[in-house]
Homo-oligomer: A and B are copies of this chain.
Amino acid sequence: MPHNAFYAQSGGVTAVINASAAGVIAEAKAHPDTIGTLYAGRDGIIGALTEELIDITAESESDLAALLHTPSGAFGSCRYKLKSIEEHRTQYERLIEVFRAHDIRYFFYNGGGDSQDTAHKVSQLSEKMGFPITCIGVPKTMDNDLPITDCCPGFGSVAKYTAVSILEASFDVASMQRTSTKVFVMEVMGRHAGWVAASAGLARDERGMGPDIILFPEVPLDESRFLEQVDRVVAERGFCMIVVSEGAKDAAGEFLSSSGSTDAFGHAQLGGVAPVIVNKIKQHAGYKCHWAVCDYLQRAARHIASKTDVDQAYELGRAAVRYAVNGDNAVMPVVVRESDLPYRWHIDKAPLSEVANVEKCLPTDFISDDGFHITDKARRYLSPLIEGEAYPPYQNGLPAYRTLKKSVIPKKCAEFYDL
Interface string of A386-419 (1 = CB under 8 A from B): 1111010010111101110000000000000000
User: In the complex, which residues of chain B have a beta carbon less than 8 angstroms from the beta carbon of A171?
Assistant: 70-72, 300, 401, 403
- Quick check: B399 and A73 within 8 Å, CB to CB? no
| A168 within 8 A of partner (CB) | yes
Contact A291 B291 (CB under 8 A): no
- Whether A180 lies near B78 (C-beta < 8 A) is yes
Q: Which residues of A approach B to under 8 Å, CB–CB? A: 9, 12-13, 15, 43, 46, 70-80, 160, 163-165, 167-169, 171-176, 178-181, 184, 186, 202-203, 205, 207-209, 261, 263-264, 269, 271-272, 274-275, 288, 290-297, 299-304, 306, 383, 386-389, 391, 394, 396-399, 401-403
Question: B296, A173: Cβ atoms under 8 Å?
Answer: yes
Q: Smallest distance from the beta carbon of A71 to chain B beta carbons, Å?
A: 5
Contact A202 B398 (CB under 8 A): yes
CA–CA, A186 to B292, complex, Å?
Answer: 11
| A290 to B202 alpha-carbon distance, docked (Å) | 27
A71-B171, A291-B295, A297-B169 in contact; A178/B399 too (CB < 8 A)? no
A168 and B303 in contact (CB under 8 A), knowing A77-B176, A160-B397?
A: yes
Q: Are A396 and B387 in contact (CB under 8 A)?
A: yes
B297 to A271, Cβ gap below 8 A? no
**Residue contact B387 to A167, C-beta cutoff 8 Å:** no
Decide if B296 touches A293 in the complex (CB within 8 Å): no
| Contact of A79 with B398 in the complex, beta carbons under 8 Å | no
A78-B178, A78-B180, A209-B403 given; A304·B306 CB < 8 A? no
> Is the pair A9, B175 in contact by a Cβ cutoff of 8 Å?
yes
Question: CB-nearest residue of chain B relative to A294?
Answer: B292
Q: Which residues of B contact A295 (CB under 8 A)?
A: 184, 290-292
Q: Which residues of the partner chain B approach A389 to less than 8 Å between Cβ atoms?
A: 391, 394
Contact call B398/A176, Cβ cutoff below 8 A = no
Interfacial chain B residues near A176, Cβ < 8 Å: 12-13, 72-73, 76-79
